[in-house]
Structure 1
């Protein structure tokens, strides 16, 4: 893989756990935008149902590898099937798996590094900050508050290190968060 692949209509929505990303993404979907679901949550759900080991509390390395592999596959498939003009929102990107590797002290493989540098989302990444008032644990989200804050900090650092501009989403009602995101996309989209 040598060619740089930039998808300016691919927007990452990321952040630590329990920050309201999924709620905002559901609202974007309700407004007829294409949303690519979070790979990590799907993987955890699947592994729980099948009594698998690729879980952050069982086998972090296997979890990281599968999360990265599936995230790249999702990016690739979306690139083949989606209109290049319309925004597509990713509930986390494959760089989230790179961040997770850093969080657990795992090696970042050459393959991960290569994809991170050469397969690009839109330069603006929307990141949701920790918000204690809405944070809750569930069957797939077991991190405590301190881990949630650390994840946000590492996520910000990871995306910046790969040349993305971080846009922090203000803590406000869902519709206002959606309007904020769509307004910024409209500002960065060249007029026809």
Structure 2
């Protein structure tokens, strides 16, 4: 009898979940329809100005020269670099599954940051940046790990209080805690 009640309860939860998903999908579709009608000439005044302000806010990183930020690595490539509401977001594509190679290549982050920040204004950068979101993608553009790094680590590394190896080891320790199958696993 309990088994039958459990199956009925599970079925009810599944049905409720599907109805909720369906409602959310319909709401999303109606938003898409509304967006399409706006792009067909029914735009509100000022929406273009607001969008331009958001893009400008997202693209500019205080105290950071984006053109000077280049990774000297054969297996790491910048996918995206942005700044929004105090969060520096760096996404990189990793072309290796070897943990030792990854550990070595992650060291390219520090000279790149050093060059981009030193060429601009380090104090302005560290006053503006409150969080550092770091994401690793594989060659197929699949997210493998996303984590928040302590911005203080980057400051300490750039000012000589933390070595590049220690910085990378901290990243690898966090990646190891995130998952055993990710690119940060030194045993992969």
TM-score (norm 1): 0.27
More helix by share: 2
Q: TM-score, normalised by structure 2?
A: 0.27
Q: Per chain length, whose mean CA-contact separation is higher, i.e. which structure has more relative contact order (CA < 8 Å, sep 6+)?
A: 1
Give the structure with higher Rg (CA): 2
